[in-house]
Each structure stands twice: as structure tokens, then as C-alpha cells.
Amino acid sequence: MTDNLRAPSPDAALSVYLDNGARVLIAVEHPVTLKDRIRVGVNEDDFPQHSGRYNLGQLVAALRYAQQLQGGGLNLRGEVTLCFGIRDEKGDRALAIRIGDSRTVLIVDPVVGGDE
């Protein structure tokens, strides 16, 4: 992991640099959610090692679980922290979704071929 690699502030960036130095050009900001800063970009280079492949439906389901858990007991304004699990024997990484600042974590298993 290139800890010394720094990217511009996401608030003002026209491109986003990945951990491996590859660049994602920001093509458009989603018109509906412009204020919320979802952007669409084009990836120019290889994916970094630090990544994982996941089923879209499962990711959405996990996030909806997180919403419900927050609504029930953790009033933390709908925030989660995302980080990866350690690589398994097959090179895949689980995605950890930490709910707010609690210690409750949702884990989304990767689909095969997550890294490299």
C-alpha cells in the first residue's frame, strides 16, 4: 500500500487516483445527486491490488441492513465505514461495512477473482 501517495481533496478533484497510482477521470457528476457528490468516471489503468469484486445486489442488501440497524439502535446519520478484509487463500477480499462508530460489522463475501 502506498501510504505516501496523496490525492487531491475529493471535494475539488477532477480525477481520482487509485492506490496504485492509476487515474480515474471524472466524467460527469450525477445530476440528481450532484450535491451529494456521486460521480461517474473512466478508469484509465489497471486496478490496484487492494480491491475486491462483489455482487451488486448483495452490496445493496448489506447496506440496507446497515440502514435498518442504524434506524433501530444507532442514530449515526446513515454513515458507514468501509474497509477490506485480509486476502484469503484464493486472493479474494471480503468487504467490511462498519455501522457508524459501533462495532457492528456487515461482511460481504467477494465473488471469485477479487484481486489480480
Partner 1 sequence: MTNLPPLATSPRGTMRLDNGTRVMLAASARENTIGLGVVAGPPSKVASHYQIDLLIDALEMARDLSGDPPETVKVMFSAASDDDRRCLILCVENTDTAMIVAPCRPAYRTDGDEEEEEHDNDERKESPRLKRYRYIGPEDRVSPCKWHLNPDAIDRYCREGICPGHIDGKCPLYGSGDDTGVFDFAKDFFEVVDDARVEEGDDD
Q: Interaction with partner 1 in 35-54: which residues (CB under 8 A)?
A: 36-44, 47-48, 50-54
Interface with partner 1 includes 14 (CB under 8 A)?
Answer: no
- DSSP reduced 3-state for 61: helix
34 binds partner 1 (CB under 8 A): no
Q: How far apart are CA 6 and CA 15, in angstroms?
A: 12
Query: Which 59-78 positions form the footprint of partner 1 (CB under 8 A)?
Result: 59-78
Query: Of residues 14, 30, 34, 116, which one binds partner 1 by CB under 8 A?
Result: 30
Closest by CA to 77, choosing from 99, 61, 96, 62, is 99
Q: Does position 116 bind partner 1 by CB under 8 A?
A: no
Residues 6 or more apart whose Cβ sits within 8 Å of residue 80 = 63, 66, 97, 98, 99, 100
- Closest distance between partner 1 and the C-beta of residue 94, in Å? 6
Give the residue carrying C-alpha cell 445486489: 57
CB-based contact 88:111 (threshold 8 Å)? no
Smallest separation, CB 115 to partner 1 (Å): 10
31 near partner 1, judged by CB under 8 A: no
Number of residues that bind partner 1 (CB under 8 A): 89
